[in-house]
Amino acid sequence: MDDLHATPEAPATPTETLTLAAGQAACVPLDLAANAATAADLVRRAADRGADLLHLPELFLTGYELSGIVADPAHHTTGADDPRLDPLREACATHRTALVVGAPTRTDDGALHISALAFDRDGKLAATYDKQHATPGERATGIAPGAAGCTLLLDGWRLGISICWDSSFSEHARAAALDGCHVYLNGSMFSAEFVAKSNTFLLPARALDNTVYVSLANHSGPSGGYLGGGHSAVWGPQGELLDDAGEADPGLAVAVLDPAALLAAREEEPVLVDPSLSAPVRPRIVSGAL
């Protein structure tokens, strides 16, 4: 079976099921090592429930602590070679479970990003996605928006990554779907009030609009002046709720993604083959396989 990697290959229909877990747990402010340990424990918990992939919230490795991150980016950003991520890498390799987790990053030119790090089953960093739709408040603190979308491949499934406000732009999910994605992952800091909206109509609509599975990994505790509303969840390709973690801490929403259900949804709702389709396709990260 294929491992997790960013991919430029042509879309293909998955042939096997994929078990996806969306996780949530309280974060320790700006303590990357402690949060990496929590992420590693969630990898274990997800693997115990058969997950091939665990998806965790926006900025999970530091908490949504923008002022602290910007004040000391050398210490609070992370990347492929950061030894503080060793427990997380080891958990992925031990349990053969891939991981997408939110973290702050900094590019060589000093630009700060809210990113998602994708680790394969060996614990190697396969791709980094930078949030394209940084909010006005995030930009005001010095966070730069990302320049490209990101598609990952895992066991024949194409996964489009998004972070929080990205999901409020229908074009973002559509660009992933037009790139052949079968799944749209969203890691967020959503309040309880906004979760009532995101889980009732926003994310189910992203699923139905594009006939894709959708996953929300949301914060479930206080962070950076906000209070995450939990309710990480997974929806099917017709917008149907498959599982919801509620307010559990730690908590997981786990669902089996089924190629037959995906094909049935796309036969019933052929929104991706309409000849009048004209949604813009933004640039996407293209990286070689690991």
pLDDT score of 181:
95
Instruction: Assess if residue 91 is contained within a domain.
Output: yes
Q: What is the pLDDT of residue 274?
A: 73
At 32 the pLDDT is 98
pLDDT at 289: 45
Whether residue 144 is contained in a domain is answered as yes
DSSP, collapsed to helix, strand or coil, labels residue 96 as coil
pLDDT number for residue 276: 63
Distance of alpha carbon 268 from alpha carbon 45, whole angstroms:
35
Q: Report how far residue 162's alpha carbon sits from residue 214's, in angstroms, rounded to the nearest whole number.
A: 10
Contact 168, 197 (CB under 8 A): no
pLDDT recorded at residue 61: 98
pLDDT of residue 82: 96
Other CB atoms within 10 Å distance of the CB of residue 278: 6
How many structural domains does the chain have?
Answer: 1
Is there a domain that residue 139 lies in? yes
Residue 135 class from Cβ within 10 Å (0-12 exposed, 13-18 middle, 19+ buried)? middle
Helix (H) or strand (E) holding 192: helix 192-197
> What's the whole-model pTM score?
0.92
Distances (CA, A) of 86 to 11, 29, 32, 54, 105: 33, 19, 11, 17, 17
pLDDT tens-digit map of 201-245: 999 999 999 999 999 999 999 999 999 999 999 999 999 999 999
pLDDT at 3: 61
Decide if 43 is inside a domain: yes
Q: What is the pLDDT of residue 286?
A: 55
- Report d(CA 149, CA 114) in Å as an integer: 13
Cα gap 144→150, rounded to integer Å: 17
DSSP assignment of 195-238 equals: HHHIIIIIHHHHHHHHT-EEEEEE--SEETTEEB----EEE-TT
Amino acid at 227: L
pLDDT recorded at residue 10: 45
- Asked, for residue 187, whether it belongs to a domain, the answer is yes
- Asked whether 256 and 46 are in contact (CB, 8 A), the reply is no
User: What is the distance between the alpha carbons of residues 229 and 211, in angstroms, rounded to a whole number?
Assistant: 26
Domain contains 135: yes
pLDDT tens digit sequence for 19-36: 999 999 999 999 999 999
Given this model, what pLDDT does residue 12 score? 75
Domain that residue 98 falls in: 5-273
By the 8 A CB rule, do 217 and 248 touch? no
Closest C-alpha among 67, 100, 227, 23 to residue 76: 67
Question: Which residue positions in the chain have pLDDT lower than 70?
Answer: 1-11, 275-290
Q: In CATH, what number is assigned to the domain containing residue 182?
A: 3.60.110.10
Please tell me the predicted confidence (pLDDT) of residue 275.
Answer: 57
Q: Is residue 22 part of a domain?
A: yes
> 61 and 105 in contact (C-beta within 8 Å)?
no
